[in-house]
Homo-oligomer: A and B are copies of this chain.
Amino acid sequence: MTAYARLTARFARIATIGEASSVLGWDASAMMPPGGGAARGDQLAVLAGLAHGLLTAPEAADDLAQAHAGDDAWDTANLGLMRHAHIRATAVPADLVEAQARANSACEKVWREARRTSDFAAVSPYLVEVVSLVRQSADAMAPALGLSPYDALMDGYQRGIGAADVAPVFSRYETFLRDALPRAEERQARQSPPLALPGVFPADRQEGLCRHLSARAGLEFDHARLDRSTHPFCGGTPTDVRITTRYDEADPAQALMGVLHETGHALYERGLPEGYARQPVGEAAGMAAHESQSLIVEMQSCRSDPFLAWLGPELHGAFGGAPEPYAPANLSRLWRRIERGFIRVDADEMTYPAHVILRFRLEQALVAGDLQVADLPGAWRDGMMALLGVTPPDDARGCLQDIHWYDGGFGYFPSYTLGAMAAAQLMAAARRDVADLDAGLGRGDLGPLVGWLRRHVHSQGSRLGFNDLLRAATGKPLDPADFEAHLTARYLTD
């Protein structure tokens, strides 16, 4: 058995443990009674420890030192990703990993209450500790990876993209937004206000419709489930994907669009290369790549004019009542409304990047030590004013709104906007390659798009980095011009 063969067996075991953890994580959010929480935490910690032990074992280091993948590009990429994972796992001392797990867990608990009462002071000392440990961890990884500390954190979510790639893209968007947002608002103000969808939308009926739409978009439910959870997500494993949503009986938009969003994630997992299942190269290419797949389904496709023209009558058929609110023009005004809000997760696609840009700049400063935790609320308010011209009325709607930092997650936020931009770029390329793409959307048929994504994105696994994946699929690395063109066409063009 060659060293590389031993490594593929080792990484398959690691991935299989990860699959078990993923299903247990889904269960914790979608099924588990509250009394199971403590034991579940232990179960996940033990599994994480076992996987970490397999990844950092001396035998793994020996095999990585002598392994050759041969001439195959996939195997070569796979071995590179194995080395990369090993470096990340061994760079941070075990006691620091444990200290982070404890600090993150403690901070996250306090944050839940602090957000409820909008009491930043209550959670501030916990966040100080979390940031301190994140900085130590980033400092430990940086030299091992040959990256800056912040880029070492970003690398954990989307390999191969760093602050130097993101900063100019975000600055350019800021400039775009300064011009585009007021114009979009003016145009919107000239339109008649949208009619709300009338009536009550029973959760069970919404669920049936969501499942129907998800299946129609290509998700095979003999390899997937749709369930309910407080925070929608896509989990599970490539042959057994679990997506969740929540239902608002007064408004079906959240669940419908949420499920289509998660369906995009799920289709990515379903389309990963089976031949490299449980190998690093067979995984999704990163969080920005993943977000591009959810947004190309939700934002680019299912909120498009042709799809809404198909969806309106479907919804009216399912829910009944007056037909006017289901007219495509009304749905587009209702579900593509621009608003300078305080809350990221409620933001429209034009202002969403502003929320991300703010967080990207603040978390960079926190990790660099240029911003102190005590100064975060003020910096947040200043940033919101500069980017969107609004000031949140309290910290609950400001720097307390997202779990990420309070759970130790630094370097993730850029993925949302990189994904949105990549989605627009991939959609433009798919539209060039596939003649009947929009005609398909007009029939409620995502088949042509999903087929293109299968070939150009899903089946590529992690063989290519984010920019190389885009280059192979679209002919160029990340280019925000396509996203700007998409927004211009949708929000600035009559």
A residues neighboring B (CB under 8 Å): 13, 16-17, 19-20, 23-24, 27, 31-36, 38-40, 42-43, 46-47, 50, 220-225, 236-240
- Whether A239 and B31, one on each chain, are in contact in the complex, defined by CB atoms closer than 8 angstroms, is no
Q: How many whole Å from A454's CB to the nearest CB in chain B?
A: 17
Give the docked Cα–Cα distance between A240 and B40 (Å). Answer: 9
Give the docked Cα–Cα distance between A16 and B50 (Å). Answer: 12
Give the docked Cα–Cα distance between A222 and B34 (Å). Answer: 6
- Whether A239 and B46, one on each chain, are in contact in the complex, defined by CB atoms closer than 8 angstroms, is no
Give the docked Cα–Cα distance between A42 and B236 (Å). Answer: 14
A31, A225, A236 interface centre (most CB from chain B within 10 Å): A31
- For A54, the closest partner residue in chain B by CB is B50
Could you pull out 15 A-B pairs where Cβ atoms are within 8 angstroms? A16-B42, A17-B47, A20-B43, A23-B24, A31-B225, A32-B225, A33-B240, A35-B222, A35-B224, A35-B240, A36-B239, A36-B240, A38-B239, A39-B238, A39-B240
Residue among B31, B46, B222 making CB contact with A16, cutoff 8 Å: B46
Q: How many whole Å from A208's CB to the nearest CB in chain B?
A: 15
- For A30, the closest partner residue in chain B by CB is B31
- In the complex, what residues of B have CB within 8 A of residue A31's CB? 31, 225
- In the complex, what residues of B have CB within 8 A of residue A237's CB? 36, 39
Q: Is the interface of A mostly helix, strand, loop or mixed?
A: helix
Q: Given A33-B224, A222-B33, are A39 and B19 neighbors across the interface (CB < 8 Å)?
A: yes
Q: How many whole Å from A458's CB to the nearest CB in chain B?
A: 16
- Whether B33 and A223, one on each chain, are in contact in the complex, defined by CB atoms closer than 8 angstroms, is yes
Q: How many whole Å from A120's CB to the nearest CB in chain B?
A: 32
Q: Given A31-B31, A225-B31, are A16 and B43 neighbors across the interface (CB < 8 Å)?
A: yes
Inter-chain pairs besides A17-B46, A23-B27, A34-B222, 14 sampled, C-beta below 8 Å: A17-B50, A19-B39, A19-B43, A20-B20, A20-B43, A23-B43, A31-B225, A32-B240, A33-B240, A35-B222, A35-B223, A36-B236, A39-B237, A50-B50
- Whether B240 and A13, one on each chain, are in contact in the complex, defined by CB atoms closer than 8 angstroms, is no
- Whether A13 and B46, one on each chain, are in contact in the complex, defined by CB atoms closer than 8 angstroms, is yes
- In the complex, what residues of B have CB within 8 A of residue A221's CB? 33
Q: How many whole Å from A274's CB to the nearest CB in chain B?
A: 11
Give the docked Cα–Cα distance between A24 and B31 (Å). Answer: 12
- In the complex, what residues of B have CB within 8 A of residue A24's CB? 20, 23-24
- In the complex, what residues of B have CB within 8 A of residue A36's CB? 223, 236-237, 239-240
Q: How many whole Å from A485's CB to the nearest CB in chain B?
A: 39
Q: How many whole Å from A473's CB to the nearest CB in chain B?
A: 27
Q: How many whole Å from A34's CB to the nearest CB in chain B?
A: 5
- In the complex, what residues of B have CB within 8 A of residue A23's CB? 24, 27, 43
Q: Given A42-B16, A46-B20, are A35 and B225 neighbors across the interface (CB < 8 Å)?
A: no
Give the docked Cα–Cα distance between A49 and B221 (Å). Answer: 30
- In the complex, what residues of B have CB within 8 A of residue A224's CB? 33, 35
- In the complex, what residues of B have CB within 8 A of residue A13's CB? 46
Give the docked Cα–Cα distance between A42 and B16 (Å). Answer: 7
The 3 tightest CB contacts between A and B, nearest first, are A36-B240, A35-B223, A20-B43
Give the docked Cα–Cα distance between A222 and B35 (Å). Answer: 5
Give the docked Cα–Cα distance between A429 and B464 (Å). Answer: 70
Give the docked Cα–Cα distance between A33 and B224 (Å). Answer: 6
Q: How many whole Å from A202's CB to the nearest CB in chain B?
A: 14
- For A36, the closest partner residue in chain B by CB is B240
- For A21, the closest partner residue in chain B by CB is B20
Give the docked Cα–Cα distance between A19 and B42 (Å). Answer: 10
Q: How many whole Å from A391's CB to the nearest CB in chain B?
A: 41
- In the complex, what residues of B have CB within 8 A of residue A33's CB? 221-225, 240
